[in-house]
Amino acid sequence: MTSQPDISQPEAPEPEPAAAEPAPTDPERSRRALPMRRPLSFVRRSNRLKPSYQRTWDAALGAELLDIPHGERDTSVAEDFHIDWAAEFGRSAPIIVEIGSGSGEAVAHAAAQNPDTDFLAIEVYKPGAAQLVSRIRRERLSNVRVAVANAPEVLDQLFAPGQVAEVWIFFPDPWHKKKHNKRRLVDEGFIERVARVLPAGGVWRLATDWSGYAVQMRSLIGASTQFKNLHAGERAGEDSPLTEVRFHDLDAISMGRQPEPLELGEARDEEGGWAPRFHGRTQTDFETKALAVGRKIFDLSFIREP
């Protein structure tokens, strides 16, 4: 087993989040025509809640839990639905969107540490969202709202261009089987959606414990003219977590498979571009379990170009 990364390592200084641009007054909103993504990046599981969570859900609906009218699916957003975020939060403040918030460990911690910033947590799985809502209420966090909806539609319909200060995607479903790669959230179309809602100087932060997805995100977002890797060329060669994963085939080991390690020359990641751990991303139970089985964490940070 290789040594685990120093997960307490502080991130190098980065630009302050750009101020979000005010929403346009036109009710139709000036937004780019973007195709709906197919297929969906998730598969819904059981929506059944424990009685205690159901009571919390019912009490929070229309408050911490956004009451979003559905479109054709129970996770889609009705085309005529919009939100005035200043009215929703009762103030005008930078908004950070976290996609795939799970039970809310990361977003709740960030919201508590940043009371002057508002957060939208997007989570499609109702049991996870119920735990998230319960956490928000228990910790009395007034600067978090929860959307149980398809993330691309939320970005398209609920935000004006340049209205989001940062977008966070931590540990998205890797869909690691090749036949399922098409379900991954981060693809060319999704990059366009994120670019639309971020102003120049806005930041997109990502993290994954799956090396194949990490390489895909680094490549796709890095190829976009709308984003710049804040850590291009850093943590390359033998300092790269990707080199270590390939050299020992840590992905296979972590899944209980026979490893097929590469020679160092072939395993060597010359490109790098991996960010230090983002200081604002608390270590969740999911990440702790990933580290325990020897997986490596890949952080990426991109800034929206003018």
Structure tokens at 192: 């366009």
Q: Is 208 annotated as a binding residue?
A: no
Catalytic residues: 173
With CA atoms as reference, report the closest residue to 31 among 161, 154, 153. 161
What is the C-alpha to C-alpha distance for residues 299 and 287, in angstroms, rounded to an integer?
A: 12
Q: Is 150 annotated as a binding residue?
A: yes
With CA atoms as reference, report the closest residue to 66 among 114, 109, 30, 118. 118
Could you tell me the CA-to-CA distances from 165 to 31, 52, 156, 168 in Å, in that order?
17, 34, 15, 10
Q: Is 286 annotated as a binding residue?
A: yes
Could you tell me the CA-to-CA distances from 183 to 71, 74, 94 in Å, in that order?
21, 18, 30
Q: Is 284 annotated as a binding residue?
A: yes
With CA atoms as reference, report the closest residue to 164 among 129, 112, 206, 118. 118
Q: Is 74 annotated as a binding residue?
A: no
Q: Is 285 annotated as a binding residue?
A: yes
Q: Is 98 annotated as a binding residue?
A: yes
Q: Is 287 annotated as a binding residue?
A: yes
Rounded to a whole number of angstroms, the CA Rg of the chain reads 19
- What residues are designated binding site for substrate? 177, 209, 284-287
- What residues are designated binding site? 98, 123, 150, 173, 177, 209, 284-287
- What residues are designated binding site for S-adenosyl-L-methionine? 98, 123, 150, 173
